């Protein structure tokens, strides 16, 4: 694990308490600040308030699913640069393609291992220093 993920703000959006708690525990132990949300609606205000460096979002959620949540994040110019990783128990080509269409940066199949979680985290953040999402783009 590299120091590049230390002090990162990571949001985990999942209606499964088990997945949220597991990801939160692993990421916190790695030095990340973790914000959780139970669904897409819950996440929207938290994204604005916390401005995470990266977002993990479950696909299958009530009210606002992961595809819709990702599309809303990516269509907002203030948050479109935040990497989004789709979480799903489905490993199909269609699901991965749909994730890419709505703007997802990566796709992680559940249940995931600690190593898989950190591999995706480091792959997405490679070359991007922690906290970079907090810097406003130059006009």
Q: What is the pLDDT of residues 69-107, one digit of tens each?
A: 999 999 999 999 999 999 998 877 888 889 999 999 999
84/62 Cα distance (integer angstroms): 19
Q: What's the CA angle centered on 96, arms 80 and 26, to 5 degrees?
A: 70
User: What mean pLDDT do residues 95-123 have?
Assistant: 91
Task: Give the pLDDT band of residue 135 (cuts 50, 70, 90).
Answer: very low
Task: Specify the pLDDT at position 57.
Answer: 97
| pTM of this structure | 0.86
Residue with structure tokens 């979680």?
A: 117
Residue 24 has pLDDT above 60, yes or no: yes
Domains in the chain, ordered, with CATH? 10-126 (3.40.50.2300)
Sheet of 33-37, strand order: 33-37, 9-13, 54-58, 84-88, 106-109
If we measure between CA atoms, which residue out of 99, 2, 4, 115 comes closest to residue 56?
Answer: 99
Residue 130 has pLDDT above 60, yes or no: no
Residue 40 has pLDDT above 90, yes or no: yes
Cα-based torsion angle of the residue sequence 113, 14, 9, 45 in order, rounded to the nearest 10 degrees:
170
User: What mean pLDDT do residues 29-47 have?
Assistant: 94
Q: Percent of the chain having pLDDT more than 90?
A: 68
Task: Specify the pLDDT at position 138.
Answer: 41
């Amino acid at each position: 694990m590299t120091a590049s993920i230390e002090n990162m703000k990571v949001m985990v959006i999942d209606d499964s308490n088990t997945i949220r708690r597991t990801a939160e525990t692993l990421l916190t132990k790695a030095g990340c600040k973790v914000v959780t949300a139970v669904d897409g609606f819950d996440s929207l205000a938290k994204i604005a308030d916390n401005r995470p460096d990266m977002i993990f979002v479950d696909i299958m959620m009530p009210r606002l699913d992961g595809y819709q949540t990702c599309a809303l994040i990516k269509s907002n110019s203030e948050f479109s640069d935040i990497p989004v990783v789709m979480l799903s128990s489905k490993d199909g080509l269609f699901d991965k393609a749909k994730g890419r269409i709505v703007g997802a940066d990566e796709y992680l199949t559940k249940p995931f291992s600690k190593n898989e979680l950190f591999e995706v985290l480091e792959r997405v953040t490679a070359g991007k220093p922690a906290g970079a999402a907090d810097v406003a783009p130059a006009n």
